[in-house]
Amino acid sequence: MSQSKVYMVLSLVVICLISAFALAQVYTLTKAKIEQAKIEAVMNALSQVLPNAISFEEKESSRVWFGYDKNGNKVGIVFQVMPRGYGGPIGTLVGVDSTGKITGLRIASPAEGLKETAGLGLRVREDWFRNQFINKTKNELRLKKDGGTIDAITAATISSRAVTNGVREGLERYKKYWSNDSTSPNE
Amino acid sequence: MIQLRQMNKKSSRLKYLTNGIILENPTLILMIGLCPTLATSITVRDGLGMAAAASFVIIGSNVVASLLRRLIPATVRIPIFIIIISTFVTLVDYILQAYEPGLYQVLGVFVPLIVVNCIVLGRVEAFAYKHNVLDSMLDGMGKSLGFTLVLFVMGTIREVLGSGTFWGRPVTPAWFRQYPILLMILPPGAFILIGILKALLNKLMKPGS
């Protein structure tokens, strides 16, 4: 009886050890690749919104990145804002050049945690909506019904307004980064 | 006589493989593994990604559990099965993160949840623990094929009707893609569709009724 109990415990211990060993091996093998994939995903997203930049430097963790061209000149910044939409925060990456013009907008996918309603608020991800922001400056960034230039999505005003206002507020908040004044050497 | 018995054995072997596809289809007949089926069949690609990940775990756990079946004490067999299964799931998790980060993001929480996919533990407990390695592998493959088939059919119908695309490519007129049947990509659409599929299958399997 006691022997079978010992065997019971022993078999569990052995199987746990084998499993842990196998997983440790695979973890070491894939670790570098996983890190690389994560960095690539971020870089892809950044270059989508700031196409002129070929390298990026993280300025504020997961919030602000500086973009540089191939000669190492700063061509603009990318910042992330999380305006509150209808279902939750809308993760929005915004690219800005040094004159304060928007160069691109990327909105997180539902898989990345976007909670907007499919067919309504989720349509903020559509190209026509996002492309309205390109080349616009701060004062133009309001919905048309709020006196600006951005067409809202039919029946999804809350989400449209959240994104538009979020981008505008982000431009204001991170002005010290995108405007040329900040590149002074005593920064 | 011996030859006949061998023949019988061969055909029953084949049955382990083919049973899982329709007759003992895990999702539509045994009605297990429904949660990942409903949740990851929004597009064909996601569905097949889930099916591939789950298949790897089903077949792997079946083989290992069958290999160790004489060494595993009956009293603690379930914890041991869970350790084997979660090892395979963690392997899939690492591999997807490293080589298919896009798919990993879409499948999200459903990758770790393969651990509690009833198909996996169900097959290990009901089949692999009592059969040899080859049979267990065939059974795992059969059940995986059945699961994959359902995810493929559901993914195709839901993606075409709900988004107007197949594997991400447009297959319907532009006006349809503008106003697709949204219900199909929402959770209620998945429930309705699996009900319809189950009803159709019941009708096909019992033509008289």
Whether the predicted pLDDT of B177 surpasses 70? yes
Interface of B with A in 123-162 (CB under 8 A): none
Q: Tell how far CA A49 is from the center of its chain.
A: 10
Q: What is the pLDDT of residue B6?
A: 62
Which of B73, B79, B91 lies at the smallest CB-CB distance from A26? B91
Whether the predicted pLDDT of B163 surpasses 90? no
Write the pLDDT tens digit of every residue in A44-84: 999 999 999 998 988 888 889 999 998 888 999 999 999 99
Residue A65: count other Cβ atoms within 10 Å of its Cβ. Answer: 26
Asked whether residue A117 is assigned to any structural domain, the reply reads yes
Write the pLDDT tens digit of every residue in B60-108: 999 999 999 999 999 999 999 999 999 999 999 999 999 988 888 888 7
Enter the pTM of the model.
Answer: 0.80
CB within 8 A of B130, min separation 6: which ones?
A: B69
Length of chain B: 209
Burial class of residue B143 in the structure, from the number of CB atoms within 10 Å of its CB (0-12 exposed, 13-18 middle, 19+ buried): buried
Write the pLDDT tens digit of every residue in B100-155: 888 888 887 789 889 988 899 999 999 999 999 999 999 999 999 999 999 999 99
Element (H or E) spanning B170, and its range? strand B169-170
Cα distances (angstroms) measured from residue A168 to each of A5, A65, A147: 68, 17, 14
Residues facing B77 on adjacent strands = none
Q: Do residues B122 and B30 make contact, with C-beta atoms less than 8 angstroms apart?
A: yes
Asked whether residue A31 is assigned to any structural domain, the reply reads no
Asked whether residue A5 is assigned to any structural domain, the reply reads no
Asked whether residue A133 is assigned to any structural domain, the reply reads yes
Distance, in angstroms, between B79 CA and closest chain A CA?
Answer: 8
Side-chain-side CA neighbours of B192 within 13 Å: the count stands at: 9
For chain A, what is the domain count? 1
Distance, in angstroms, between B135 CA and closest chain A CA?
Answer: 23
Q: Complex ipTM above 0.85?
A: no
SS (H, E, C) chain A: CHHHHHHHHHHHHHHHHHHHHHHHHHHHHHHHHHHHHHHHHHHHHHHHHCCCCCEEEEEECCCEEEEECCCCCEEEEEEEECCECCCCECCEEEEEECCCCEEEEEECCHHHCCCCCCCCHHHHHCHHHHHCCCCCCHHHCCEHHHCCCECCCCCCHHHHHHHHHHHHHHHHHCHHHHCHHHHCCCC
Q: Which one, of B135, B134, B107, lies nearest residue B35 by Cα?
A: B107
Q: What is the pLDDT of residue A47?
A: 92
Q: What is the pLDDT of residue A184?
A: 45
Cα gap B32→B54, rounded to integer Å: 13
Q: Which one, of A22, A41, A21, A34, lies nearest residue B95 by Cα?
A: A34
DSSP letter at B172 equals S
Asked whether residue A47 is assigned to any structural domain, the reply reads no
pLDDT band at B4 (very low <50, low <70, confident <90, very high): low
What mean pLDDT is reported for chain A?
Answer: 88
Whether the predicted pLDDT of B162 surpasses 80? yes
Cα gap B175→B172, rounded to integer Å: 8
Q: Can you give the residue range of the structural domain that contains A127?
A: 55-178
- From chain A, the residues in CB contact with B97 under 8 A are 30, 34, 37
Cα gap A147→B206, rounded to integer Å: 65
Asked whether residue A147 is assigned to any structural domain, the reply reads yes
- Residue among A1, A2, A28, A34 with most chain B CBs within 10 A, to mutate: A34
Asked whether residue A29 is assigned to any structural domain, the reply reads no
Q: What is the pLDDT of residue A186?
A: 42
Write the pLDDT tens digit of every residue in B25-69: 999 998 998 988 998 898 898 899 999 999 999 999 999 999 999
Q: What is the pLDDT of residue B95?
A: 92
Interchain pair B105, A30: CB under 8 A: no
What mean pLDDT is reported for chain B?
Answer: 90
Token pair listed for A66: 């500086």
Q: Do residues A95 and A103 make contact, with C-beta atoms less than 8 angstroms apart?
A: yes
Write the pLDDT tens digit of every residue in A147-163: 889 999 888 899 999 99
Question: Which carries the bigger pLDDT value, residue B15 or residue A187?
Answer: B15
Asked whether residue A124 is assigned to any structural domain, the reply reads yes
